[in-house]
Each structure stands twice: as C-alpha cells, then as structure tokens.
Amino acid sequence: MLALVAILPFAANASVVVAGTRVVYNATDSEVTLKLSNAGKSPALTQVWLDKGDPKVDPAQIDLPFVLTPPFARIDPGKAQTVRIAYTGEALPKDRETLLWFNVLEVPPKPTEAQAGANYVQLAFRSRLKFFFRPQGLPGSADDAPGKLTWRLSSQGGKSALVVSNPTPYHVTIIDAHVGEGEHAARFDEGGMVPPGGELTLPLSGKATANGQVSFTTLNDYGGPTKHEAAIH
C-alpha cells in the first residue's frame, strides 16, 4: 500500500488558516468570533463545529449549548470567513472552566478533468483548537493560575517524575518543565494540561532531587509562552 501511495500525486496542502491557537469564551460575552483565511489557490469548503473531546464522534450527534455561524462556508482564494460562536445559555459548570474543542474541516475542491482522469489522491484536513468556556465570577484569574500550581517529586516506571496539582478553576497548559540546569537537568518536553482541581504526572528524562526548584513554561490565553519557577515539596 505504501508503494502504491508513493507513486500517486497528492493534493495534500491545507489552505485554510485559523487565526489563533485557542478560543476563550467569557460568559459575559454575547459571542466570540474566529477568522478563517484561505491562503491557497483554489476555493475551499469548510465545516466548523465543537466537540467534547472525542474527535471520532459525528458532529450531528453532539449536543452543546453553542451555535456556530455559518456551520459551512466556501472561502475563495485570498479571502476570509468570520465564524461567530454564541452561547445559548444552557447549564455548564459555574465553578470551573469547561474545555471543548473547536474543529475546522477543510474539504478539497472537486478534481479537474485532468486530475480525475489520473491516479490522484485528495485529502481533507481537520484542525482542532482548545475552546475554553469561562464562567463569570471565578476566583483569581487565568494569568495567576500557573503560580498557584503545587509540585512534588514522584516516580513512574522506575524513573523520576513530577506531579503537578492545580487548585484553581482554570486549565493550565504546560509546554515543558525541568529540574536542575545544563546537561544534568531532568526534563519534561512532551506538553500537557492540568485540569481545574486535578493533577498531572510529568515523566522526566533524568533523575531529579526533592526540595529543589522546577522551572516550567505555560501558555497564556493568547497562546504565548510564559516562564515560571516554583518550589518542589
């Protein structure tokens, strides 16, 4: 099969670009908008929807209190389409953020006559972005949440690991973490997210010692990296 695919021409370049890497919907907002741009040379048909975390579920079977407009759109080359997302008010947890996923499916255009007459493979591209619904009146702020994380040393599979606990009502995305400096530092570079009131185990590449400092990087609401330091207990 791989040999067959290797000799077939591909239409394998995603054209639709999503502005931003995440979406934050504050409960006080009437709606949020997201811009989709077509950087390709052909028209693109897009479908957008939210899911609860399982990417395999049929969009038609997902029941969420949000309306996305338009759910389908044709975007011509060099043009853009604004997607509006409105909360319809049904109950979601009020004591913590809710994490959903924003999906964009780009369907390739119909092959030309020349392409249709040859062995030609087309691929549909799907992008998924984190979508945070933030209730009104949560204590603290998302910017302050990384500084409230607590860290302790543990082990996983016989190797050093860090367990990070999140006492806040906000999700915290961790890009990397390390204990120590230089070539002897014990590192975690795989990325992960600590849910509100939850914890996450970060396996380290080297041996770490207790009662030290952990340096780590998180992502803010705009997808930008922010560096922090904290004590290991």
Q: Where are the domains of the chain?
A: 11-134, 145-231
Q: For residues 154-174, b (16+ Cβ closer than 10 Å) or e, as one string?
A: eeeeeebbbbbebebbbbbbb
Q: Which of 12-21, 36-45, 93-102, 162-171 has the lowest mean pLDDT?
A: 12-21
Average pLDDT, the chain: 89
Stretch 29-53: mean pLDDT, rounded? 95
**Residue pLDDT, tens place only, 125-165:** 899 999 999 999 999 999 999 999 999 999 888 889 999 99
* CATH for the stretch 11-134: 2.60.40.10
Same topology between domain 11-134 and domain 145-231: yes
Tens of pLDDT along 68-111? Answer: 999 999 999 999 999 999 999 998 999 999 999 999 999 877 76
User: At 2, is the secondary structure helix, strand, or coil?
Assistant: helix
- Which pLDDT belongs to residue 108? 74
What confidence score (pLDDT) does residue 8 get?
40
> What is the pTM for the complete model shown?
0.87
Distance (Å, rounded) from C-alpha 205 to C-alpha 85?
Answer: 41
* Tally of CB atoms within 10 A around 125: 16
Q: What is the DSSP string of 120-141?
A: -EE--EEEEEEEEEE-TT-SS-
| Cis-peptide into 70, omega within 30 deg | yes
* pLDDT > 90? residue 188: yes
102-132: pLDDT as tens digits? 999 998 777 666 555 556 566 778 999 999 9
Q: Which CATH number fits domain 145-231: 3.40.720.10, 1.10.490.10, 1.20.1250.20, 2.60.40.10?
A: 2.60.40.10
